[in-house]
Structure 1
Amino acid sequence: MTDALHDLGWQPFFADQLTPDDAGLAPMRIASVHRSRLMAETGGGQVRLDLPLHGTTADYAVGDWVLAEADRRVVVRLLDRKSLLRRRTEGSASQLIAANVDTLFIVTSCNDDFNPARLERYLALANEAGTHPVIVLTKIDTVEDPSAWLARARDLQRDLPVVGLNAKSPDAAATLAPWCGPGRTVALVGSSGVGKSTLLNTLADKAPDQAQATGEIRESDAKGRHTTTARSLHPAAGGGWVIDTPGMRTLHVSDVAAGLEMLFAEITDLAPRCRFRDCTHAHEPGCAVQAAVAAGDLSAERVERWRKLAEENRANTPVQTGPRGNRTTVPRGGRRR
């Protein structure tokens, strides 16, 4: 493949999926998803793609790789994803957030937006998707000493990279450069008003007339206003690609059991030492987790947040039912928080 496709994020994982029947088809990367059409990066610019017969845009995520007829500009085949970020919405529907993301920048700020319980939801999502999470703490220029904020973020997950920056500063791009090299893809997630659009403008070195609109957090409640309304793929100044996403007010967990185990590794490590295999770490005798809390080695608040997420995940994760060989997937009867 050409250097242009490599710079766009093309990897052997995708090339290995090509067959002789695909000769003549052009690999393209989805840059934005609209109601009835797709926009794709070709390595030489963006083009509009039409859907195949009976196709729907709900099947595609920004960051996907597709094979298309270059002359007719029609999608022929969606390639398997290396990673996929998705969330469960009201009614148990699944919404695709971004595909083939190497690093997920979870953006929060040094104010009331910093919410450990919400950040843990993003981390579980990233862990389950197989993408590398990084906490990006913005607005460090608004506090006298950001070290306490950085320490709180690092405590959320073992070996979690955390960086602090001023999203408006040109230095922000240099701080995040290790994850934004040629051919690499990062995605930005977080609440509205924490500086995602500002950070995108800095990373992509956008001219003023091309910059994403930005909005400030309201002083009254530290809540932001939505300035990004759709997911989109943008070239980064360092040679990589950035996927911007709208702010999410709520994020329900579902199908993230492995992600939770990684997120709460200290609890996962202690669980085999409990007397009972199905210990809930709440009231059972011989519970190693509660013993660690009593000894001051583990935060009771942290255990309670684990319990709430684990219960929500069990309630929201669909189960298979029916005879073997003819199973169907049905919702459990969800629980929302």
Structure 2
Amino acid sequence: MSPLQVLGWKPFFQQQLSLDELNDCEPVKVMAVHRSQVEVTGERGEEAVLVHGPLFEDATERPTVGDWLLLERETRRPLRRLERSSLFKRMAPGAKQAQLIAANVDNVLIVSSCNHDFNLSRVERCLALVKEAGCRACLVLTKADQDENHEQYREALKGHRDLPLLLVNALDRSSVEPLREYCRSGETLALLGSSGVGKSTLLNSLAGTELAATSGIREDDSKGRHTTRHRALYAIPAGGLLLDSPGMRELGLADVGDGLAATFADIGALAAKCRFADCVHESEPGCAVQSAIDSGELDERRLRNWRKLEREVARNSKTLAQSRADDKALGQMYRTVQSHARSRKSGEE
């Protein structure tokens, strides 16, 4: 494999380059993002690139971890960001714009643990995000050595039979060995989960070396501190890239309608059998969804969470649409003012 292929360079990205760009530019991968610059890696190795100016004025266009940028070979000036194969983003509490998490991810480990942190509704939230991006997912429950009753977790996940489940001791490298299938050379693996579940420990075990700092958790509620301070990609000796990111207690969803439908495909299939097309699955006669709950085929918690996430997606998507409209109107106003200023200056001359 070439150095770029090891970093995840694929035909999808190669086909976006013009002949001139092939000659005059060099693609680099964004490994970490800071306020005014990004750390990138390419054929020349690691370097820092300033990110300012018109190319990065739009927050949604700014590079995030995992992005590919085109740099001029001589000046090292970034010319453009390549189209993404996948994108993870969230709505942070109180935000009017989506916060980018990572781009061009191939596989995702949804990390929870065998303690108070395990929450099936949170797993479904993460799963909607992963399915929207079109990535392969695996649920990893850490701290398996601290709880012998593993069957309770398998039973809780019976509604997600297509989601692989692995119970591991993140401190034991042999225990995490099956996860190497998800971080093969040339692929990028992301870890999603709240603080204290052992993401950084898991990353270190997969890498075979100390890449990320770790810390303990509170015993009373199994919650941890944000060990990781910023999102960053790590290249591991066996090949592949690992993304470590700060634990996110709030993972707001927006523009993930397809991912949500895929996560709750069983409810969608049942809804199609309801007597009435506009059934809201409450007390309507002939409701297949409620019948499934009565028979034990469908967990009522799952229906409640589906409704909750649907409302959240609709609300956040509306906020994003309004924010985009406001930005468009503001941009138009700026252009109008500038045009009038140029016309006035021209008239004075």
Q: Under a length normalisation based on structure 2, what TM-score does the superposition of the two structures give?
A: 0.87
Aligned to 1:334: none
Matched residue type, 2:84 = R
1:150, 1:164 within 8 Å by CA — same for their partners in 2?
Answer: no
Instruction: Tell me the alpha carbon deviations over residues 44-72 of structure 1, each in whole angstroms, 9 at most, x when there is no partner.
Output: 52111122532438411100011112332
Bigger mean CA offset, 233-242 vs 170-179 = 170-179
Match of 1:213 in 2: 213
Report the Cα offset of residue 150 of structure 1: 3.6
Alignment match, 1:80:
83
Alignment check: 8 A CA contact 1:193 1:223 kept: yes
C-alpha distance in 1 between matches for 2:166 and 2:158: 13
Give the deviation of 1:43 after TM superposition. 4.3
Give ranges in structure 2 of 5+ residues lacking alignment: 328-349
Shift of 1:329: 7.5
C-alpha contact (below 8 Å) 1:158/1:263 kept by paired residues: no
1:123 alignment partner in structure 2: 127
Structure 1 position 195, deviation (Å)? 0.4
Distance 1:96 1:321, change over 3 A: closer
Counterpart amino acid of residue 108 in structure 2? L
Residue type at the aligned position of 1:7: V
Q: The residue matched to 2:139 in structure 1 has which SS?
A: strand
| Bigger Rg, structure 1 or 2 | 2
Shift of 1:159: 0.5
**Partner amino acid, structure 2, of 1:16:** Q
CA contact 2:55–2:80 (8 Å) conserved in 1: no
Q: 1:179 Cα shift?
A: 1.0
1:238 equivalent in structure 2: 238
Residue in 1 that maps onto 2:42: 42
Residue 177 (str. 1) matches residue 176 (str. 2): no
**Aligned-residue offset at 1:158:** 4.0
Residue 156 of structure 1 deviates from its aligned partner by: 5.0
Q: Kindly state the Cα deviation for residue 31 of structure 1 after the two structures are TM-superposed.
A: 0.3
CA distance in 2, matches of 1:36, 1:315: 32
| Structure 2 partner of 1:294 | 294
- Unaligned segments of structure 1, at least 5 residues: 331-337
The residue identity in structure 2 corresponding to 1:113 is: D
Q: Distance in 2 between matches of 1:138 and 1:8?
A: 27
Q: Is the 8 A contact 2:97 2:320 kept in 1?
A: no
Q: Structure 1 residue runs of 4+, over 6 Å off? A: 319-322
Hey, what's the Cα distance between the residues in 2 that align with 1:226 and 1:148? 28
SS at match of 2:272: helix
Offset of residue 321 of structure 1: 8.3
Q: How does 1:305-320 map to 2 (within 5 A)?
A: 305-318=305-318
Q: Does 1:187 align with 2:193?
A: no
Greater CA drift, 289-298 or 26-35:
289-298
Which has the larger share of helix? 2
Alignment counterpart, residue 113 of structure 2, candidates 90, 109, 112: 109
**Change over 3 Å in CA distance of 1:228–1:8 after alignment to 2:** same
CA distance in 1, matches of 2:65, 2:16: 19
Name the aligned partner's letter for residue 212 of structure 1.
A
Deviations 1:228-252 (A, max 9, x none): 0100010123211001110001111
Q: How does 1:1-337 map to 2 (within 5 A)?
A: 3-22=2-21, 23-51=23-51, 53-56=53-56, 58=59, 59-89=62-92, 90-152=94-156, 154-207=157-210, 211-318=211-318, 328=325
Percent identity between matched residues is: 44
> 2-side partners of 1:313 and 1:171: how far apart?
40
Larger mean CA deviation between 59-68 and 294-303 belongs to: 294-303
Distance verdict in 2 for CA 1:145–1:243, change over 3 Å: same
Give the residue type in structure 2 aligned to 1:230.
H
**How many residues in Structure 1 have an aligned counterpart in Structure 2?**
321
- 1:276-331 deviation per Cα after TM superposition (whole angstroms, max 9, x unaligned): 22222122222111111112211112111111111221222127989xxxx9489x
**TM-score, normalized by length of structure 1?**
0.90
Aligned 8 A contact 1:193 1:217 in 2: yes
Q: Which amino acid aligns with 1:188?
A: L
Cα distance, 1:237–1:280 mapped onto 2, change above 3 Å: farther
Distance (Å, rounded) in 2 between the aligned partners of 1:283 and 1:94: 36
Farther off after superposition, 96-105 or 300-309: 300-309
Contact residue 203 and residue 244 of structure 2 kept, 8 A: yes
Pick closer, same or farther for the CA change 1:64–1:307 going to 2, 3 Å: same
